[in-house]
Structure 1
Amino acid sequence: MSVARSTDPDRIGFDPARLARIDEHFGRYVDDGRLAGWQIVVTRRGEIAHSSTYGLRDREAGTPVEADTLWRIYSMTKPITSVAAMMLWEEGRFELTDPISRWLPEFADVRVYEKGSALQPYTSPAVEPIRVWHLLTHTAGLTYGFAQVSVVDGLYRAAGFNFGVPAGADLATAVRGLARLPLLFQPGSGWNYGVSTDVLGRLVEVVSGQPLDRFFADRILGPLGMTDTRWWVDEPDAKRLAALYTPNPATGRAFRADAIGRAALAEPPWLSGGGGLISTAADYHRFTQLLLRGGKLDGVRLLGPRTVRFMTRNHLPGGRDLASFSPAELTETVLDGVGFGLGFAVVDDPVPSRVPSSVGEYHWGGMASTAFWVDPAEELTALLFTQLMPSGTYPLRSQLRQLVYSALVD
């Protein structure tokens, strides 16, 4: 185990002995084989209270998790894409209520699934256009093929949208293909996790006039000093990349998943604003500090503080929570008492979820069990990195909250 602290935890309100429970608890996941390794960082008031690593980034190679290990962050890409969109919004380039067909005309005449099978679906015209805020809040009616919950998910898979996009498609081509598929529901009438942020990434490209990777590099990653965050890992850094695992159904032990994991070693054919980035704990720590500090870090301002506060309020109609507004289960967050803002899940009431947090805390996670949260009330951030797919296999996120908040004693 490697632990490095940059401050006295007592001074910023943490009990060191209680913080030590984090490593003891999560160490058991590695010791019994459920995880290969992990990295955890907890900060308060801009100072690191707890930073630790445990286990192996590549169990088969015997290489340990280190401070600079590269992790597939998958859906933790989504908040970065949402920040990119809101940077353009702050420039007056669009309004949140604008129909996206203004820039993506393929969405001008979308249809909505009504009934029937994947072989013979019945659809009707959308009565409400997909608007920018629908993409940011996952209320557009878009979905994921790999969800395997609805008939529309099956239509996505049949069209080549499962864990990726049809062979040879770039982002523009993929989005045009998505626009030809029916929506799961009328825009704004429900919440469903899906490709909304990928479409948002294409919107960023068209509005900005830059490819998404160039916009990220020029406007976000470069200015913030997130020098290790990238879309793929080339040969010189390949040894730093953590291997991807999935649970063996017979034993529960983490089993290597190279068929999906090796995709991170080659330039992707399309730029997924919903799940394409690879990063480090140090880099994503800088992103969470930007958010905690109201859009400015080390003299670099990407967003105004009021924009960040606006993004991290619950934007679901009527102040609904995900449990009452979502047609399907989700493993990236708890649903009860949790709303959704512009790119983030937002805690409205921690009691229904039975997980400690603060009202106004916002968060998200990734498919390989990575997670982060930002708690403005406590001036706290937390990061969890591992590489076990799917997320939700074990209650890692809720358990980290238990351990962190119970160690906060001021």
Structure 2
Amino acid sequence: MTEALEQLLARHVDRGTVPGAVAAVVPAGGDLRPVAAGSSSLDGPSLEPDAIFRIQSMTKAVTSVAALRLVERGLIGLDDPVDPWLPELADRVVLSYPDAPLDDTHPSPRPITMRHLLTNTSGYGMMTSDSPLAREMVATGVEAGPVPSGLDAGEWLSRTAALPLAFAPGEGWRYHHSFSILGVLISRVTGRTTPEHLRDDMFAPLGMVDTGFWVPHEAAHRLPATSRRDEGRLVEGEPAGGGFYAGPPAHDVSHEELVSTLADYVRFLHALTGGAMIDGEPMLAPASVAAMTSDQVADDLKLPDSFFPGFWEQMGWGFGVGVHTGGEHVGRFGWSGGLGTDFFVDPDGTISVLMTQVDLDDRVMELFHDVQQVTTNGPSDPLGP
């Protein structure tokens, strides 16, 4: 399987899908054997297996575990209103319909809970049409995008809280923003920044030495460049060793996303699936893992316009991860990051992690699919001769 993965990554690099990629497929109980191909930037040096990647929405699984650990300690309940810790979110108003004018609102019938945040049903999230709310999110700098907001966590939350909800909590599904709010909630519940809490509660005990909310200056040379496709060719975004994540930020980034390595993220997934412990105890209780990795979204919320077309046909959403509910991969859970990172875990315990730094597009999604076929079909090369 490692040889097939090497060939697959090399071919995608040669085809210009990505400048470089690092990946591994780890069978249950097997050893990590990372594969790297290509370069760390356009025409740059080779990409090494220990490169540190901006993992974007793969952060959601980590944030979910951190939140569920607080639930297991009794510090907050899944169905507790978040208002005591996030008073900015008290007394919400809701749009009459998601594309309504911003002043066409009514009081929310219920508060936002942690469960709403974990399941993307808080009423906040990415809008899928050119609506007044979508335009206001852009104007206030809280829309989801390929780069961090640059705002302090408190300021980001204040600007977000000033917006009406697209729907009452629990009555719709929209992606992303609930998890930034969850990051701030973790900080408020623990009384420290989320970067500090995650470092001490999860990353250090698991040996995830290169995972955090920024890359230390002394390790910045391991941070690849980002790139995107422009008229069919790759162009550079953030430079290698530079950009927002190079060095500590000047403000609280509890609402932002992580950087990590292939090896660190595999460590996290091993712990999630019971293969590693924190201080001699499971990272999460089996019941919490089962809830996190099973579909938690009611069928009547899975509307075609709530996310990209066709998403709900064979997929559900757990806590911070997508869950396959149909097709050949039933029971698989995982998720992707907007800069071309991806992971999944199969019911048999097989773990797959892929890291690139290219904006998601059809060609990067094809790479994701081909890596999945390696695990499905064994050592054959899905790209053919």
Same fold (TM over 0.5): yes
Q: Retained in 2: the 8 A contact 1:41–1:382?
A: yes
Amino acid at match of 2:369: S
Matched, 1:253 2:253: no
Correspondence list, 1:176-191, <5 A: 176-191=158-173
| CA distance in 1 between partners of 2:173 and 2:246 (Å) | 33
What SS class does the counterpart of residue 214 from structure 1 fall into? helix
The one-character-per-residue Cα deviations of 1:187-240 (angstroms, maximum 9, x if unpaired) are 111211021111111111111112111101110101111001122223321211
The one-character-per-residue Cα deviations of 1:343-363 (angstroms, maximum 9, x if unpaired) are 2111122x2xxxx42x32211
Q: Which runs of 5+ in 1 are unaligned?
A: 1-15
Q: Retained in 1: the 8 A contact 2:37–2:47?
A: yes
Question: Aligned residues: percent identity?
Answer: 32
Q: Retained in 1: the 8 A contact 2:293–2:318?
A: yes
Amino acid at match of 1:384: L
Q: Which runs of 5+ in 2 are unaligned?
A: 381-385
Matched, 1:113 2:95: yes
Correspondence list, 1:137-148, <5 A: 137-144=119-126
Shift of residue 341 of structure 1? 1.1
| CA distance in 2 between partners of 1:149 and 1:277 (Å) | 29
What SS class does the counterpart of residue 39 from structure 1 fall into? strand
Give the TM-score taking structure 2 as reference length: 0.89
Q: 1:25 to 1:148 in 2, by over 3 A?
A: farther
What SS class does the counterpart of residue 57 from structure 1 fall into? coil
| CA distance in 2 between partners of 1:71 and 1:104 (Å) | 31
| CA distance in 2 between partners of 1:269 and 1:238 (Å) | 17
Shift of residue 51 of structure 1? 2.8
| CA distance in 2 between partners of 1:334 and 1:120 (Å) | 28
Correspondence list, 1:10-409, <5 A: 16=1, 20-48=3-31, 51-60=34-43, 62-114=44-96, 121-144=103-126, 149-162=130-143, 163=145, 169-249=151-231, 252-258=232-238, 262-272=243-253, 275-293=256-274, 296=277, 299=280, 301-317=282-298, 320=299, 324-325=302-303, 327-330=305-308, 334-349=311-326, 351=327, 356-357=328-329, 359-375=330-346, 377-390=347-360, 393-395=363-365, 396-407=367-378
| CA distance in 2 between partners of 1:121 and 1:67 (Å) | 51
What SS class does the counterpart of residue 258 from structure 1 fall into? coil
Amino acid at match of 1:110: R
| CA distance in 2 between partners of 1:393 and 1:155 (Å) | 31
What SS class does the counterpart of residue 339 from structure 1 fall into? strand
What SS class does the counterpart of residue 34 from structure 2 fall into? strand
The one-character-per-residue Cα deviations of 1:325-380 (angstroms, maximum 9, x if unpaired) are 4633349x94322111122111122x2xxxx42x32211111101011112x2111
What SS class does the counterpart of residue 263 from structure 1 fall into? coil
Give the TM-score taking structure 1 as reference length: 0.83
Shift of residue 124 of structure 1? 2.1
Shift of residue 390 of structure 1? 3.1
The one-character-per-residue Cα deviations of 1:271-328 (angstroms, maximum 9, x if unpaired) are 55565211111101100111121773684532212211122111112xx298x34633
| CA distance in 1 between partners of 2:82 and 2:255 (Å) | 17
The one-character-per-residue Cα deviations of 1:144-180 (angstroms, maximum 9, x if unpaired) are 47x665432211111121336776x421221122111
